[in-house]
Structure 1
Amino acid sequence: MKLRWYSIVIDCHNVAAQARWWADVLDWRLIFEADDEAVIIPNDMPADLDMEEPVPAHRWHHVPPGLVFVPVPEGKTVKNRLHIDLAPHLEDDRDAQIQWLIDAGARRVDVGQDGSEVTWTVLADPEGNEFCVLSSRDR
């Protein structure tokens, strides 16, 4: 028996704004939006996977996960127990990408790294959900 990693669900207050922010950050596309849910998927996901037709089993397990945004009434009060790691390619300017994220509404946060010599930068999205920008890599 195999299960497919289908999605990551992100609690938020403004479903539409969060979905669009993350779609911009990841260069993904919004495929569903309602008051109580928004869904984004990778741009390179085959177009036929957006349709109503069932996905054959041999392709099902190779479809990447999406991000789903749902509303919650409470505010965020503690550090995330699960977070997203982003990684730039070796040919990309990591510092410029971090600055772009900050200019787009992210902010630097300290979750215990205390300025130590780490190879990642911890940021928070516009609603405070932490994520990391890792060191540049090519695999």
Structure 2
Amino acid sequence: MTSRFTELTIDCHDPETLAAFWCEVLDFTVIDRREGKVEIGSWDPTVEEVLARQMPPTLQFIQVPEGRTVKNRLHLDVSPIDRSTGDEVARLLGLGAVKRDVGRGWVVMADPEGNEFCVLRTLAAPGPGSSA
């Protein structure tokens, strides 16, 4: 048996605020909350399900005293599923994200604690009269 990728952990100052932000971004829910830690996901993992198959990882936000000092070496990429990339960027700005840069077909943003993430191309079906 091999290992499973089950959680991605993000160090932060305020786990509650970041978990709330990412729940709104990803349509996740809180699945565990303890002192200094909040875990969110699209499903509530059980040992049996994790053993049976690879499932989407959860996100854990762990409170740490130190701040981020350098560029993230690991970041999340998100793709809008029901709107254009521009409309999703506008929605995320309204949730508290900050636009950092524009790449080749993606937008670099930061969450409320400055952790970078990218908004990639939309996965929504093109509307009438638009090109793919």
Q: What residue number does 2:109 align with? A: 123
Counting only pairs closer than 5 Å after superposition, residues 1-139 of structure 1 correspond to structure 2 as: 1-42=1-42, 45=43, 49=45, 54-55=47-48, 59=52, 61-89=53-81, 92-110=83-101, 118-137=104-123
Code of the aligned partner of 2:115: N
- SS in structure 1 opposite 2:60? strand
Deviations 1:9-61 (A, max 9, x none): 0010001111111111100010111222110011xx3x6x46xxx415662x3
TM-score (norm 2): 0.84
Give the TM-score normalised by structure 1. 0.80
> How many corresponding residue pairs?
124
Unaligned runs of 5+ in 1: none
Q: Which runs of 5+ in 2 are unaligned?
A: 125-132
Deviating 4+ runs (over 4 angstroms): none
Root-mean-square deviation (Å)? 1.9
Aligned partners of 1:103, 1:58: CA distance in 2, in Å?
39
Quick one: structure 1 residues 32 and 96, their matched pair in 2 at CA, closer, same or farther if it must change by over 3 Å? same
CA pair 136-57 structure 1, distance change in 2 beyond 3 A = closer
